[in-house]
Every structure is written in structure tokens, then in C-alpha cells.
Structure 1
Amino acid sequence: MGFPKQLLELGKRPLIRIVTENVLASAVDEVTVVTGFREDEVSAAIKDLPVKIIVNPHFRQGQGSSLSLGVKAINVNTTAFLVFMCDQPLISPSIINTVIREFKERRSMALRPLYQGMPGHPVIFSYSLTSELESLQGDEGAREVLKKLGNKVDYLTVQDEAVILDVDTPESYEKLKLMVFSSKKQIGSGIL
């Protein structure tokens, strides 16, 4: 990207704030945000929100180290946890709540939304999988844990493309901005 994705803006709000507000507006009980590169700026964008912020001093090792830190900070009384990416600001509280509800109804080990056959986010995991996720290193993300689980992963077909839309390149960021502003799509706590 050439710029920290967390600090990219939509409607004068950084992506990290939009994603965090969406999660807070859902049925999630507790939110932990793991920061790394330019952590002062990222933390400043959400410091007034009721979240736990953890700084990953080893962020250069890859997303696995950040995910591992976040999982280690999970409350031991938790039954499940979701993993979010800062570059997916269109995932609404209603999508999050649907994923949580389905996870509970199916009694899944892990559940992942699908849009037109493509796996997306957020992924929800049973607390029993914390040790597998705590051991992640480098750029190894939750995808490796999902692969190992194989057919124990449940999938939920959704009709909202938001679960697969992310910002990985300047072109995808421009496409997202165009999509949001041309449709007046609801983002977080307001319409842009």
C-alpha cells in the first residue's frame, strides 16, 4: 500500500476507527485492538473508544505475531472470539451479529462468511482454539489454523460483498472510495 492501511480515510475518518466503531456497535462484548507500525497515530484514532489497545513491538514479523498477541489478551471467560482486519470498513454490525448468531446456533469450532463462494471476514473461533492461534508467528495468519481444521470449519453464505472487500492496493482503496461515495453507503456511525 505504501501507507498504513489503518490510517487511510473514508469521509475524514481512518479505517481503524470505522472498523472499531462497527465492532463496538455489534453484539461483541469486548474489543481488543493490536497496533504496531505508527502505533501512536493508530492509537490516537481510537483512544476515546472503549477498547483495549495492545502494542506489538514485533509487528515487522507479520500479522501472525499481532494475532497471537491479541488472542493472548482474550478474557478467559470468553466462549468465542472474532478476528477483524482494519482494511474492511464495510463489514456492518448486522453482518457481525449474523456471524455470531450462526456460530452459536451451529455450535461451530470456527465459522467464516462466504460471498459468492469466496471466504471472507470476520471469522469467529471457539475459545478452545486459542492455543493454536497464540502459536502463530511471522506472516502466518488464521488462514493456517482454518486449513488445519479442514471440514470442522462452518461456512455461512451471505449476500453482502463487504465480507470480501478489503484494501490491499492504492487501486482497491480508490475503488472502495468510489463505491462508498457513489452509493452513500452507511459506514460505521454515519452515512458518507
Structure 2
Amino acid sequence: MISAIILAAGMSTRMGRPKQLLKVGNNTLIRILTENVLLSNVDELLVVTGYQQKKVSAVISDLPVKIVFNPRYKDGQGTSLALGVKSISDAASAFMVFMVDQPLITASLINKLMVEFQKRRCLALRPVCKGLPGHPVIFSSSLIDELKSLSGDEGARQVLKKLDDKVEYLAVGDEAVIFDIDTPKDYEKFVAEMI
């Protein structure tokens, strides 16, 4: 069983408004990514909310996801990831971590990563494009305790750093794994290209 966690609790300070709710056509970033993950072969999907929790939850409340509210979202991404990891099914043998600002991640890309992870039986698998590490990252459930104790804004970065050469990489040609929307300029460019 593979679970998925979407981190959607942040305050999007560089964007100046909640990224989760940014519109792309008639959809929002959180809705686009949630639907894409649900089209993949993951067994359960959790969405960790925080900032603008009611509005974010309302956008995806009709979808088969488990919404988990992080009351400590202001303390950083680490707290959201720790809560997400604590909330996944005990039956999960692995879990994937998604960032809400990566709307180009497709179900086929997710499935490709899952198949590769199951083949390699590694502790963590991370996609790489053009030499740059990206998301989503898949972790073995044996790392749950380590990720459960995260705090602050570090997220999984410190765990990946500690794992060092135990992290395996999958080269992909799809820039979706390294594309994200951080600033108003990124957003405007993305929307213009989508039209």
C-alpha cells in the first residue's frame, strides 16, 4: 500500500496570497494536484491544510481524500509533514510527498515513480530532471519515526540529507518534477502558457 501526502498548509509569503487557491482556468492549484494524484495508483491521499483551511478544504471536500488540519502551520513545513506522516494508514509500506505548487505532476509520472520504487526496494526515491532533484519523493514507511519528529521549516530536506547515498534517484525527462510556482511572476507565466 502506498499513501500520498499533499502539503497544502503554507502561508505562501513569497506569493502574497495562498498558492493553494490560485486559479488556473476554472480550477485551483490544490484541486488540480489532488485530482491528478487521485488518478494515479496511490491507495490513499491525505491533504494537510493550515492557512485558509476552510477555503482550501471546501475546494476538495467532494473528493475521496482525508483532510488533516495542522494547527501549527505557522511553525513551518516540517510540522505539516510530521502530521501527515502520523496520519497515514498503518498498512502503508511507503508514502509520497507532494508540494501543492506543482500542478504539472501527472498520474502517469506518479505511477512511474511507484513502479520504480517497488522494483528498487530502497529507503527513498527522488525524481531528477536536468540534474536537479524534484518532487514527489517516495519514502519507505521505515522512515516514519524520523519524519514524525520534524519541526520548523526544514521539511524532508534534513532527512534526505541524513540518508545521503541511501537516497536513490530516477532520471525523468518531465520538467514537472522540478517546476513549481513560488512568486506572482511564476504564476503569471504559468497561466499565460496554459492558455
Q: TM-score, normalised by structure 2?
A: 0.92
CA RMSD across the alignment? 0.6
Secondary structure at the residue paired with 1:84?
Answer: strand
Instruction: Extract structure 1 runs of 4+ deviating beyond 3 A.
Output: none
Q: 1: CA distance between counterparts of 2:84 and 2:189?
A: 30
Corresponding position of 1:177: 191
Corresponding position of 2:68: 54
1:114 aligns with 2:99: no
1:158 aligns with 2:158: no
Secondary structure at the residue paired with 1:99?
Answer: helix
Q: 1: CA distance between counterparts of 2:177 and 2:81?
A: 19
Deviation at 1:178, TM superposition (A): 2.1
Corresponding position of 1:140: 154
2:99 to 48, 70, 85: 85
Deviation at 1:180, TM superposition (A): 2.1
Secondary structure at the residue paired with 2:187?
Answer: helix
1:33 aligns with 2:77: no
Deviation at 1:113, TM superposition (A): 0.3
Q: 1: CA distance between counterparts of 2:162 and 2:188?
A: 35
Q: 2: CA distance between counterparts of 1:130 and 1:171?
A: 36
1:17 to 25, 31, 42: 31
Q: 1: CA distance between counterparts of 2:174 and 2:30?
A: 20
Q: Deviations over 1:160-189 (max 9, x none)?
A: 1010110110011112112222xxxxxxxx
Q: 1: CA distance between counterparts of 2:158 and 2:23?
A: 30
**Number of matched pairs:** 181
Deviation at 1:96, TM superposition (A): 0.3
1:126 aligns with 2:140: yes
Give 2:68's aligned amino acid.
Answer: I
Q: 2: CA distance between counterparts of 1:179 and 1:104?
A: 35
Give 1:8's aligned amino acid.
Answer: L
Q: TM-score, normalised by structure 1?
A: 0.93
Corresponding position of 1:186: none
Q: 1: CA distance between counterparts of 2:54 and 2:48?
A: 12
- Which stretches in structure 2 are left out of the alignment for 5+ residues? 1-14
Give 1:44's aligned amino acid.
Answer: A
Q: 1: CA distance between counterparts of 2:93 and 2:45?
A: 14
2:81 to 67, 77, 80: 67
